Structure formats: C-alpha cells, structure tokens
Structure 1
Amino acid sequence: MNTRIAIIGSGFSALSAACYLARDGYKVTIFEKNNTIGGRARQLKKDGFTFDIGPTWYWMPDVFERFFADFGKHPSDYYQLEKLSPAYSVYFAKDDFITIEDTLGKICETFEKEEPGSSQKLKKFIANAQHNYDVAIKDLVYRPGVSPFELMTPVTIKKLDQFFSTIKKDVRKEFKNERLAKILEFPVLFLGAKPDNTPSFYSFMNYADFGIGTFHPKKGMYEVVLAMEQLALSLGVHIKTGQSVDKINVEDNTVTSIRANGETIAFDGVLSGADYHHTETLLDQSYRQYSENYWKKKVFAPSSLLFYVAFDKKLINVNHHTLFFDVDFELHAKEIYDTPKWPTDPLFYASFPSLTDNSVAPEGQEAGIFLIPLAPGLEDTPELRALYFDKIIARFENLTSQTVKNNIIFKESFCVKDFIQDYNSYKGNAYGMANTLLQTAFLRPKLKSKKVNNLYFTGQLTVPGPGVPPSLISGKLVSELIKKHHTLINYESAI
C-alpha cells in the first residue's frame, strides 16, 4: 500500500493512530510543531529534576496493555510500572487527611472508620462501577461515535437510568459524610465536568480508582510517549518535529496536501491529533464543519495553572499524589463552569514523583508539581500566576505542617497562554471537551469530516473524550475508520 497519511500533532492519540495505520500498511508521517513529541505529555528537565508537564496519573493499565498487545507487545517491553501504595491522600484541614490505599479492602476499612456502615455501601457502589467499567472500557468506548445506536445494547438499555441520573446524586444518596462524598466525586473531574453534570454511568472512573488502582511509570509518564515513539518508528512511521502545519489544502472536497513551515507536501489523507477547533481554522471557511458559535456553546474541561517546583529538601506529610480539598468545592466548580473567573479559594492538586522515583530529582531533594483547575479563556498574567502560587504554597505549608517556600531552588509555570501557544488549545483548555450527557459518544465532534474527503480527527475533543486511556482508544478508532473507508473505495474501484 502506498497511501500517504499526514498526522498533525504527536500526542497520545496521534501516536496511537500512527502505529495502527503503519501496521496496516499506510505510509505515515507525523508533523509536530514543537521540538519534542508528546503533545500535552511533554517533559521538563532542569538542574537534575524531571517533571511531567502534562498528565501525571496512570489509570486503567488494561487500556495500555490492550494497545501494546495489538502489536504483540507489552508495556513492560518499554517501561517499568509500579502500583502506588498508597494511591493518594486528600487533605481537608490542617493535619487532617484521608489516605486512599492500594486495595479495595483497605479503602473499605478507611471508609468504615470515617463513617460506620459506609464500607458495605462502598462495596455495592464499586461493584456497580465495575460492571459499568466492563461495559464501557471493554466495549462502548471502542465504538466510533458514528450513530446513537452504538450505545443501544441489551446491557445499556437496562442501565438507561444511569445516563439520566448523575454521579453526585448517586454518591450523596448513599454517603452522608461530606469527606467521603468528595473523594467519590473526585475521579470524574478527569472527565472535565462537575459531578452534578456527569451521568451516573461514568462511575466506572471510581472502579478505575478504587478497584484497579493508581500506577507510576518509572521516570514518569513521558516514558509512555517514548515507548509509543519507539513502536511507531519500528513500524516505519516518520516523525518530524519543529514542523508547524498552517494549511490543509482541499480540491473537489478532497484533501490534497498540507503546508508545513511554508512547504506544500502532497498526501492522500490527513489526520489531525491537534486541537479540533484549531485544525478547522487550517481549512478554508466553506470546508469547516463547526461554527465559532458551536464551539462557544460547548462545555469545555478546565484549563490549569501548573507549577513545576524544585525543593532542596525532602518533604513530609504528603504522598506521591496529594489533593487539597480544604476549601469550598462547590464555589470553585462554579467559578470554573458557571461564572468563569479566577477562583476565590482554589482546590489544588500536588504530585511529588520523587517520593516514589529517585530518578526524577537529585538525592535528598524533591520534585513537586502543583495544579490549580481554572476556567478556560481567563486572563493570564505573570502577576496572577505569582499571586496564586503564594496562595497555595501558604496553604500547603499550613496544611502539611512544614515550611517549604525558602527551600525552593526554582519554579516554572504553565497556564492558559501556554496551552494556546504550545498546543493551539481552544481558550487554553487543558483536557478537551467535558463528557457531559449531551457531549457523549455520537454527540461529540466527529472522527471523520462531514465536508472533506480523507480528513480525520482524533484526540480529546472527539470520541471517546478526555484523558490518556481514551486518547489511545481514539487513535485506534480513527485508524479503523480510515482503513474501512479506503477498503470501501478499493472495493468500489474493483467492481
């Protein structure tokens, strides 16, 4: 096969698609605007410290295993995976936190201590979440979002009520303890929406959390990117970095070429793993599927203010992943989704990978990643970044009973402007489009252009949605659509 496919971007979904297409005989070339691959999952290295710029949570290891198995490989062929024990901690006040351990049995014990009788409720809740996981992650998310009938199976018809109730309703009905409820509502934040706007069916995220657990790839999440790059190269994929695509050329409603760094290069098909909205701006107006008004009306996942901080000492009273829920969850959510503004008192998350992995910081020192969820599209200035760093570090010191501000060797930040500049991200969002009821499956932007032949999309603004595992799946789904389309064309040409 000599069919030439250009892929714009080199994030997880783009790399996934590249591997599948190359395996199936396509001539694949990746064009990445930045100087390193990985999209949002790039890496920062400085003075002996290593930080994952983007994703830091490794959930759903079975999805990674399924991806590599499609090529006769296993994650362990490329990187070393460690299950975190404990998985994470959640702070609610000074020296007051709940630690989530590495097995459901231990987590049940924790719940029972916090709220007598809650462990039995938790077991029932997670059993239902596991069933949803089996239905969703092993089946539904591997469907391309072409038709509403994809969701209509004997199992999902029985679960229709779970598409019209919400995570928050289900959790609050069973768990009266506010702290436990917040912990159970937390995983759906990875889907980019509030718990009261996320269908109950998405409780499968709770099974990913409590039932399967949280993992860490040795040397960081970027090792997964490097593994996929190694696989792609072995399959014959060409990867070009520092190549900014600024035009997709179309003739007779069919892709003919792209323009990268001023050079026009002919291709038989184009697949974009870049921001969907941005990709459509590379087309002449008449070939765009979705208007600006369409995008404005969509619910987007948050942006983030991130800090990458090097400390000259080891820290105490924290775990590899630590969440800080000591302020009003509802107010912060409102200031992200309902009345977008810089948060009054932000929840935040911190990761200290050097607690687990001594390869990411010099001996006796600590690498810290701090994240504040923000509404996309906010004003982003150095002064605001500095103000919010001071806010969360002061709280961090108080909550964990330690002083750290004078132990900072350096800090780097990443926020709305950077998401726009580095990833062409719509309004600087960090996670794509939220998985609300009206933005699920066939209701998301399509993998295949409705207006341009041989133009396809993949990644977090299309199906299945936000997150690293869904991105791997998105790449597989679009590769299958491309293969199906070309098989049909070849068949029609032959008759």
Structure 2
Amino acid sequence: MKKRIAVIGSGFSGLSTSAYLAKAGNEVSVFEKHDRPGGRARQFSTAQGYVFDMGPSWYWMPDIIESFFADFGHKSSDFFELITLNPQFEIIFSQDKISVPKNLEELKLLFEQIEKGAGLQLEKFMKSAKFKYEVGMQDFVNKPCHNWFEFISPKIAKSALKLDLLTNFRNYVAKYFKNEKLRTLMEFPVIFLGASPKNIPALYSLMNYGGYVLGTHYPNGGFYQLVLAMKKVAENQGAVFHFNKTVESINTQNGKVRSLTINGEIYEFDAVIASSDYHHTETLLNKEYRNYSEAYWQNKTFAPSSLIYYLGIKQSIPNLKHHTLFFENDLDEHIDCIYGVKKWPGKPLFYACCPSKTDNTVAPKGKENLFLLMPLAIGINDEEFVREQYLTEMLARIEKHTGVTGLRSMIEYKRSYCVSDFVSDYNAYGGNAYGLANTLGQTAVLKPKIKSKRLKNLFYTGQLTVPGPGVPPSIISGKIVANEIIKLKHEEL
C-alpha cells in the first residue's frame, strides 16, 4: 500500500531518501525552507557573472556516488561531466609546498623523494586503507545501527583487528612516516571528520584511500550539478519538491506523527523523515517525544564550523591550483582552538578553492572564482569586523604564494559566511558546518538514532546520525533510512 511520506530538507540525505522511497512506490513530498534544493550544497550566482558553490567542493569516493545512480539505472555521466584533477591539490608549508599527483604511483615517487623508504610505506598504508575502505564502506556504514548485534558476523569479526578501531589516527600514521610534512598530508583528510587526528580511529585511513587513490574530481558546472542530478533522479521516481516551505511543528497523536504544520498550513502524512538538523527537528516536538535532551547535545563533540568567503576576482591569479591548503602554521595549535579553548585561531590554517582554474562557466573570462574556508569552533562570536581581519590574513598569504599584489583591490564581489549564518540558514546546532565528529565514542551505535524512540513513524537522516559527515555518507544515510521504512508494513507506521 502506498505511504504518504514527508521529507524535511533537501540536502544530500533528503535527496537520497526521497529517491529510494519514491522508487518503492510511495507518495513522497520534500519540503525545503530555501528556494532551491541542496542545503549546505546550494549554489548562487552574482550580477557580475560568478557562480559559487556554497559548501562541498571535494568530490571524493566517486564509487559511492556512482552506486547511488546505478540503483536507478543511471551513471553520473548521464547528468554531468566529471573531471579528474591533476594535481589533486597543493599543500603550502612555511618553506615549501607539496603538489599531490592524481595517481598512486606518482604519489609514491613523491613520498620517496621526501623521505627514503616512504614510497614503500605509502604502498603498505594504502593497501591497508583499501581494506578498511572496502569493509568499512560496504559492511559498516550501511547498518542502521539500532544495536551492536548488527555488527556480529563472521566477516566483521574476522576483520575487526585489521580495522584498527582502537588505534588513534595520529599514532597510526606515525608508524608509517617520520617526515612531518608527510604526516600532515596524511592527517589532513580526517580534520573535517570533526576532531583532532589524536581522537579519530585509525579506521578512517579509508579516507586517504577514498581521496588520494580514487582521485579528486570536479563536476563541470560546479558541485551543484550533483544536487540537480539527484533531484532529477528523485523526481523521475515520482518525488515532489516544495520550496520556500518551513516546517513549523511536528504534530503527534497516539504515539505517532499525524501531520506537519508548514507555512501555517497542516498536512497529514503516514511517516516523516527529517533530513534537517537533528537537534532543531526535535525542538519542533513536545519535549516528551524528543530522543535527546539539551544536555545530551551540549556534551557532544561537533565537527567544526567555518568562516567562508566567496570572492569574485577581476583578474587571473597565477600559480594557484583548483584546491590549495595553506598549512604554513602548526596544525595542532589550530585544532586546539576548535576543540580545546574554542576561540578564533591566532595562527590559522585555511583552504582556497579556485574552480575557475578548471571550469570556465563559474567566472567571467579572465577572472577568478575564489572560495576561502577556515575551520572554526562552533558557537563563537563571528561579527563582520572579525571575519574581515581573517580575510586580510588569508589574502596576504595567497599573495605571498602566488606573487600577486593588491589582491583586495581586485575583489569585485565579496560575501562572507560564518557561524551565525549556519544557524540562520540551516538551524545548525552551534553553527556547525559538518555534523558530529567521528570520534570513537560517537561512532555507529553511539551516534544519534535514525528512528524516534517514542514515535513510530518519525525518522532522522543526515550528517548528525549514521554513518556521519560528508557527501557520500549523507547519501548512504538517506538510503539506510529509506530501507528501514520500506521494510515496514503500512499498519506499523
């Protein structure tokens, strides 16, 4: 029997779950507070001709994304052209830089040049990382994580030691490499999982494999092409999207959600899936129906927020790659400002994305589209004058690297985005940008549950629940929740 299902939010998990549920024959309605789909992955254009992706810019784990399209008889190439970046990115240190090539053999040669024996060590590291990737992305992350019994299987038991769940990532990397720059290069991918490499399980070396070995890619036209493609897939299955629709309350009766109040009107549904911020969604419920208290969220370790600048530069910037990491300062000092003392960093690290180096559609000819991002602690003051101070520093370091002078005078479009914007636009707890940190104590069954404990037909998906932050995990999260609902009979909702 067809179920009437509401999905709150059209980020990647909402797009994913709506497609799978519609494919199963349900009547799916997606409600999005903004005027377009994508959530944190929205895109905007300016009068000067710049096109900015607002959030994700690293297209990693392409096999996971291809798997989504394959489930609906498609390939990503049916919707957009995927470009493999070479170099994948450049990382800038205080005295030199490392340019990461697109294939493993070249990367091994690079490692060997920097540290004798490191090429062979990288091969060993990636062999182990590949195993973690294949087991982790196939057998671990696809679990709904209701309880630990889901992980009891001969294959998982046999793999347990090889997954290095109890070893921290920093110590694990140090077993392979002595050179500090190589260690930083290997530690960088886990920073956005939401904790120091000292607190992330070594299991997440799978990120190194998913990025460095499978490659860094770019959808021509911007990351938003993936959003549009997934929306098209969902619509082809029958899902209907409603924009400029704010869910104001979740209405319950007899242990079930009966309806949603949206823009002042009441709509009835058989089930509701929240792809919106988990904490915010629960504020739409009476307290007795919430899974978690305020104290629960206050005690959680969140992934960083970010200071972002979207800049339109009216001339070309030489010597700048598509992706550049400015890591001239101490990594641990910046990390401590995020998770320890929780303040603006004194000596920040930051990331620059210049997609106009690859894509001539995102900036006018001869000009550059420049996206700057600095990870920050959640919940801190982000007044505009503070943001501007850090913009000045970031521009100065770009000038030093590229040899350009007077970069600020070349800005013809500027927009900042920071902690308070994540709160106002996405109801993000503390203004977080990436969800919950993937620490050992917040992994799998220890993450917020995908199902309401008190309401039979309310479910949660996205970066605050399983499997965790990032675009591929969010796509997987949507599929997990859809499968849980598909398995239920109509009378169970």
Task: Write out per-residue CA displacement over residues 213-266 of structure 1, whole angstroms, 9 at most, x where no aligned residue.
Answer: 100000011000000111111111111110000100000110100001011111
Q: CA deviation at 1:137?
A: 1.1
Q: CA deviation at 1:156?
A: 3.8
What percent identity do the matched residue pairs reach? 48
State which of 166, 169, 185 in structure 1 corresponds to 2:168.
166
State which of 258, 261, 283 in structure 2 corresponds to 1:259.
261
Structure 1: which amino acid aligns with 2:129? A
3-state secondary structure, aligned to 2:212: helix
Q: CA deviation at 1:442?
A: 0.9
Counterpart Cα distance in 1 of 2:401 and 2:266: 56
Q: CA deviation at 1:305?
A: 0.4
Counterpart Cα distance in 2 of 1:158 and 1:234: 41
State which of 272, 289, 292 in structure 2 corresponds to 1:290.
292
Whether contact under 8 Å (1:93, 1:399) holds in the other structure is no
Distance verdict in 2 for CA 1:185–1:153, change over 3 Å: farther
Task: Write out per-residue CA displacement over residues 56-91 of structure 1, whole angstroms, 9 at most, x where no aligned residue.
Answer: 010011011110111111111111101111100000
Whether contact under 8 Å (1:320, 1:353) holds in the other structure is yes
Task: Write out per-residue CA displacement over residues 140-189 of structure 1, whole angstroms, 9 at most, x where no aligned residue.
Answer: 11111112133344444345451110110011122111000000001112
Whether contact under 8 Å (1:464, 1:470) holds in the other structure is yes
Task: Compare 37-46 and 480-489 and name the one that shifted more.
Answer: 480-489
Counterpart Cα distance in 2 of 1:210 and 1:15: 27
Counterpart Cα distance in 1 of 2:382 and 2:146: 37
Task: Write out per-residue CA displacement over residues 272-326 of structure 1, whole angstroms, 9 at most, x where no aligned residue.
Answer: 0000000000001110110000001111000000001111111122211100110
State which of 220, 223, 229 in structure 1 corresponds to 2:222.
220
Which residue of the partner structure matches residue 372 of structure 2? 370
Q: CA deviation at 1:139?
A: 2.3
Which residue of the partner structure matches residue 190 of structure 2? 188
State which of 230, 234, 239 in structure 2 corresponds to 1:232.
234
Whether contact under 8 Å (1:163, 1:199) holds in the other structure is yes
Counterpart Cα distance in 2 of 1:39 and 1:278: 15
Whether contact under 8 Å (2:319, 2:401) holds in the other structure is no
Whether contact under 8 Å (1:140, 1:150) holds in the other structure is no
Whether contact under 8 Å (2:3, 2:490) holds in the other structure is no
3-state secondary structure, aligned to 2:141: helix
Counterpart Cα distance in 1 of 2:99 and 2:125: 19
Total equivalences in the alignment = 489
Counterpart Cα distance in 2 of 1:180 and 1:411: 34
Which residue of the partner structure matches residue 4 of structure 1? 4
Q: CA deviation at 1:132?
A: 0.4
Which residue of the partner structure matches residue 493 of structure 1? none
Q: CA deviation at 1:113?
A: 0.9
Task: Compare 158-167 and 419-428 and name the one that shifted more.
Answer: 158-167
Counterpart Cα distance in 1 of 2:242 and 2:233: 16
Matching of residues 321-360 of structure 1 within 5 Å: 321-360=323-362
Counterpart Cα distance in 2 of 1:91 and 1:335: 21
Q: Establish whether residue 133 from structure 1 lines up as the match of residue 133 from structure 2.
A: yes
3-state secondary structure, aligned to 2:312: strand
State which of 479, 486, 490 in structure 1 corresponds to 2:489.
486
Which residue of the partner structure matches residue 414 of structure 2? 411
3-state secondary structure, aligned to 1:207: helix
3-state secondary structure, aligned to 2:282: helix
Which residue of the partner structure matches residue 81 of structure 2? 80
RMSD after superposition:
1.2
Which residue of the partner structure matches residue 104 of structure 1? 104
3-state secondary structure, aligned to 1:340: coil
State which of 305, 313, 326 in structure 1 corresponds to 2:307.
305
Q: CA deviation at 1:341?
A: 0.6
Q: CA deviation at 1:127?
A: 0.4
Task: Write out per-residue CA displacement over residues 35-61 of structure 1, whole angstroms, 9 at most, x where no aligned residue.
Answer: 111100001211211111010010011
Counterpart Cα distance in 2 of 1:148 and 1:402: 55
Q: Establish whether residue 476 from structure 1 lines up as the match of residue 479 from structure 2.
A: yes
Counterpart Cα distance in 1 of 2:85 and 2:59: 10
Q: CA deviation at 1:486?
A: 2.6
Counterpart Cα distance in 1 of 2:151 and 2:351: 34
3-state secondary structure, aligned to 1:5: strand
Structure 1: which amino acid aligns with 2:104? L
Whether contact under 8 Å (1:301, 1:433) holds in the other structure is yes
Counterpart Cα distance in 2 of 1:60 and 1:88: 16
Task: Compare 85-94 and 248-257 and name the one that shifted more.
Answer: 85-94
Which residue of the partner structure matches residue 70 of structure 2? 69
Q: Establish whether residue 431 from structure 1 lines up as the match of residue 428 from structure 2.
A: no
Q: CA deviation at 1:487?
A: 6.2
Structure 2: which amino acid aligns with 1:345? K
Counterpart Cα distance in 2 of 1:273 and 1:344: 35
Unaligned runs of 5+ in 1: 491-495
Q: Establish whether residue 23 from structure 1 lines up as the match of residue 26 from structure 2.
A: no
Task: Write out per-residue CA displacement over residues 184-214 of structure 1, whole angstroms, 9 at most, x where no aligned residue.
Answer: 0011123222111110111100101221010
Counterpart Cα distance in 2 of 1:471 and 1:259: 26
Which residue of the partner structure matches residue 241 of structure 1? 243
Counterpart Cα distance in 1 of 2:240 and 2:214: 35
Distance verdict in 2 for CA 1:230–1:279, change over 3 Å: same
Structure 1 runs of 4+ aligned residues shifted over 6 Å read none
Structure 2: which amino acid aligns with 1:189? I
Q: CA deviation at 1:489?
A: 3.4
Task: Write out per-residue CA displacement over residues 95-132 of structure 1, whole angstroms, 9 at most, x where no aligned residue.
Answer: x2100000000111111111111101110001000010
